[in-house]
Chain A
Amino acid sequence: EVQLVESGGGLVQPGGSLRLSCAASGFTFSSYWMHWVRQAPGKGLVWVSRITSDGSSTGYADSVKGRFTISRDNAKNTLYLQMNSLRAEDTAVYYCSSVVTGIPGWGQGTLVTVSS
């Protein structure tokens, strides 16, 4: 069974940084692309970033490009999202996700609150 467990969320001031982690198990992590998706309070789901299985290629939503960096450690079965220059509008629950054998799997999410 695919399991994804996010961590690293919390309260951070505007302009600050935070690194999210997503621990994966139940599938061959190194074989699959991974994604981050976020959901602001009371709003819908928005794709943030993706990384290929070997980490050689990444992609970002325009709203986070240049501020966020996605990475992975296939030896540790862990996905990361380094978030810099955080803004109030980055406040959201952040989910990691992957499509394994055609089935989307999601974690429980970690809440990031950007506020002074």
Chain B
Amino acid sequence: DIVMTQSPDSLAVSLGERATINCKSSQSVSYSSNNKNYLGWYQQKPGQPPKLLIYWASTRESGVPDRFSGSGSATDFTLTISSLQAEDVAVYYCHQYYSTPWTFGQGTKVEIK
């Protein structure tokens, strides 16, 4: 199974400041045939299902604010919130859908400092 490791487990950021979450996979989640990274990022608020923010590691889902961006390739990925807003307080997960079993990072809790 591919192990997904997120860091940090939690972070507190001032409003308007940048938040950065890292995700490392134990093996590549990139298909050489199409050069796509099968890595998604989700935001989850209490009592709600996960909301897809980013797919293919760097493609923003429709309707997601452009302060959210994803980067990285193969085994190392990053989710960046460029200017943290109050409504961004949530837990964030990375997810590899390159192979089954699907695996997820343990989650990163983002709070306001």
Contact = CB atoms under 8 A, between A and B. Distances in A.
Interface string B74-113: 0000000000000000000101010011111111000000
B49 A102 contact: no
A59 B100 CA distance: 8
B55 interface: yes
Interface string B40-57: 100000000110100110
A50 B103 CA distance: 13
A105 B97 CA distance: 12
Nearest to A59: B100
B61 A103 contact: yes
Interface in B7-45: 36, 38, 40
A99 B61 CA distance: 13
Contacts of B103: 47
Given A44-B93, A44-B106, A106 B100 contact: no
A90 B50 CA distance: 19
Interface residues of B, number: 20
- Contact residues of A: prevailing secondary structure: strand
Contacts of B100: 35, 47, 50, 59
Contacts, number: 47
Contact of B49 (A44, A99, A108): A108
Contacts of B104: 44-47
Contact of B95 (A45, A61, A93): A45
26 contacts: A35-B102, A44-B93, A44-B104, A44-B106, A44-B107, A45-B95, A45-B104, A47-B101, A47-B102, A47-B104, A50-B100, A59-B100, A93-B49, A95-B49, A99-B97, A102-B55, A102-B56, A103-B52, A103-B55, A103-B61, A104-B52, A104-B55, A105-B52, A106-B49, A107-B49, A109-B49
Interface of B: 36, 38, 40, 49-50, 52, 55-56, 61, 93, 95, 97, 100-107
Interface of A: 35, 37, 44-47, 50, 59, 61, 93, 95, 99, 102-109
Given A45-B50, A47-B103, A104-B55, 5 more contacts: A45-B104, A102-B55, A104-B40, A104-B52, A105-B52
